[in-house]
Amino acid sequence: MRKFLEATGLLLLLQGVGGLLHEWTGWFGLWALVHRPDAPAGHEVFASMVLVVVGVAVLIASERAAQK
């Protein structure tokens, strides 16, 4: 379970960072998944920040699960 949480947290974190980099620099256009659906249209920065925060939270949760 710990490895699954680590992988999920890392994936969420990387997608959030990639989305922010794409919004600010124009890079990672094919890599950032936040810009694919039309749902967050106009709110890509907010969605990317949420992905970063959730990714960090999942990584912290995986560390706490490993300590028990």
Which pLDDT score, from 0 to 100, does residue 39 have?
A: 65
**Which pTM value belongs to this model?**
0.83
Domain that residue 39 falls in: 2-67
Task: Tell me the pLDDT tens digit for each residue of 3-56.
Answer: 999 999 999 999 999 888 888 888 776 776 776 667 677 888 898 999 999 999
C-alpha dist (Å) from residue 34 to 2, 3, 65: 26, 24, 29
CA–CA separation, 7 and 12 (whole Å): 9
Structurally, how many domains does the chain consist of?
1
CA–CA separation, 30 and 23 (whole Å): 12
Which pLDDT score, from 0 to 100, does residue 66 have?
A: 72
C-alpha dist (Å) from residue 57 to 7, 16, 22, 62: 13, 13, 22, 9
